[in-house]
């Protein structure tokens, strides 16, 4: 019942389907059963409340017999960048006692190619039933953007990869209860590959933008101006650089392809290394602004992996904050969308007043709306800090310079 499972369950439940939402975390189960949410997503609280109040959605710790089973669990990686499919395996094992002839099982978790046929199918067949003969099995990746999940679940094209044609068609018949976008049928491994390709494409494009920011810094130019000018070309669309790439998709999925075929993925591997190294580039910028970081008080604004979401998984902002601490800086961090978060090794505070109170410098890592809309005269009253390090080009330089601040920006070598 996470960022994908809960919205999907609630959307099915508000479209006439009786749904059992399963999670192994007792805290999450208790939170949802009490009418509260453990994640932030616009519109989701009302949707969940409606689904539960109309009796179409129940939350519990164990699966039960059903017509269809959807697996939407995390697929992180180990420290050596190897896919951790233990959650997928556990979920499939939990389905086995309840699997019956005619059932449909759908894996939604982002997975390396051949996971559906090579891992999930053999586990489910421990029931004595045969995939493709006794029950249908599909892979259908989520393709939604945090902050717009409820809209995109319904409107985005839905790819359904079956282990055979009948399985794909069964998946289509289920999702068409709420999907208004095009539903495209293919095989399971192609569907797995498509999801990985989408996020890898984004990762590679972000990597070149981040590398451009390093070049601009060295050559003494402004990357933000250079990107804007380059994008005047009708066939060029360079993305903006930043502190790195995070979240549970773009920063993870390319490694699945590198793991599966390391001998033929040098470009993907290099892009991952560039993006994983970007927090260190941010720290070098902070050092340029402050000199030695030993005992320097730094206010960090934003810890999620992108603007206006609460998801801090694999966040480069968190990595940058940790690196500052390792350099001896005294860091206070403020994440407006997750003020109660606890991150080992970091001091998180719950308000702007707290994060600004005794800071010597301000580091902007995520351009959240509550941060982006701050005015220099307001900030000046809250903090003695007059040095800003902006890693995401959040605040207009002239405006903040006129307000008495000295601004350093990522990718700007020009003084």
Residues catalogued as catalytic: 195, 249
Q: Find the DSSP H helices in 234-375.
A: 253-260, 266-276, 278-290, 316-326, 352-356, 369-372
In DSSP notation, 4-41 reads THHHHHHHHHTTT--EEEE-S-HHHHHHHHTT--SS--
Decide: 176 and 157 in contact? Cβ < 8 Å. no
Closest CA to 348 of 383, 318, 379, 314: 318
Residue partners of 336: CB distance under 8 A and separation at least 6: 302, 368, 370, 371
Q: How far is CA 72 from CA 105, 173, 215, 267, 282, in A?
A: 11, 19, 40, 29, 34
Question: What's the order of all strands across the beta sheet hosting 387-390?
Answer: 347-349, 330-334, 297-301, 361-364, 387-390, 406-409
Beta carbons of 302 and 281 less than 8 angstroms apart: no
- The answer to whether the Cα torsion of 250, 252, 256, 257 is positive or negative is positive
Q: Which residues pair with 162 in a beta bridge?
A: 138, 187
CA dihedral sign of residues 132, 136, 142, 143: positive
Report yes or no: 222 and 415 within 8 Å, Cβ to Cβ: no
Counting beta carbons within 10 angstroms of the beta carbon of residue 371, is it exposed (0 to 12), middle (13 to 18) or buried (19 or more)? buried
């Amino acid at each position: 019942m996470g960022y994908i499972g809960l919205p999907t369950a609630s959307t099915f439940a508000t479209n006439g389907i009786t749904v059992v939402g399963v999670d192994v975390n007792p805290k999450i189960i208790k939170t949802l059963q009490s009418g509260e949410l453990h994640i932030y997503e616009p519109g989701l609280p009302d949707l969940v409340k409606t689904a539960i109040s109309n009796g179409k959605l129940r939350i519990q710790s164990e699966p039960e017999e059903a017509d269809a089973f959807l697996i939407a669990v995390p697929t992180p990686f180990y420290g050596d960048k190897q896919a951790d499919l233990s959650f997928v395996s556990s979920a499939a094992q939990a389905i086995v006692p309840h699997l019956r002839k005619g059932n449909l099982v759908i894996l939604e978790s982002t997975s390396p190619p051949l996971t559906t046929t090579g891992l999930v199918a053999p586990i489910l067949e421990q029931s004595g039933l045969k995939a493709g003969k006794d029950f249908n099995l599909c892979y259908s990746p989520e393709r939604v953007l945090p902050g717009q999940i409820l809209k995109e679940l319904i409107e985005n094209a839905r790819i359904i990869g079956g282990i055979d044609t009948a399985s794909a068609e069964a998946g289509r018949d289920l999702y068409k209860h709420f999907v208004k976008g095009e539903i495209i049928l293919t095989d399971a491994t192609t569907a797995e590959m498509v999801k990985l390709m989408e996020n890898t494409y984004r990762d590679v494009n972000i990597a070149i933008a981040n590398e451009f920011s390093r070049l601009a810094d060295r050559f003494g130019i402004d990357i933000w101006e250079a990107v804007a000018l380059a994008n005047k070309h009708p066939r060029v669309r360079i993305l903006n650089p930043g502190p790195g790439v995070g979240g549970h998709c773009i920063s993870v999925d390319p490694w699945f392809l590198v793991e599966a075929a390391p001998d033929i993925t040098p470009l993907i591997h290099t892009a991952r290394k560039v993006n994983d190294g970007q927090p260190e580039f941010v720290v070098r910028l902070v050092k340029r602004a402050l000199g030695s970081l030993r005992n320097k008080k730094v206010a960090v604004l934003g810890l999620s992996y992108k603007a206006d979401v609460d998801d801090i998984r694999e966040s480069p902002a968190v990595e940058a904050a940790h690196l500052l601490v390792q350099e001896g800086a005294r860091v206070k961090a403020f994440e407006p969308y997750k003020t109660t978060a606890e991150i080992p090794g970091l001091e998180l505070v719950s308000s702007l007043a707290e994060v600004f109170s005794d800071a010597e410098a301000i580091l902007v890592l995520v351009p959240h709306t509550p941060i982006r809309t701050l005015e220099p005269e307001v900030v000046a009253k809250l903090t003695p800090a007059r040095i800003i390090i902006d890693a995401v080009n959040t605040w207009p330089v002239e405006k903040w310079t006129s307000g008495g601040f000295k601004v350093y920006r990522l990718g700007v070598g020009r003084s």
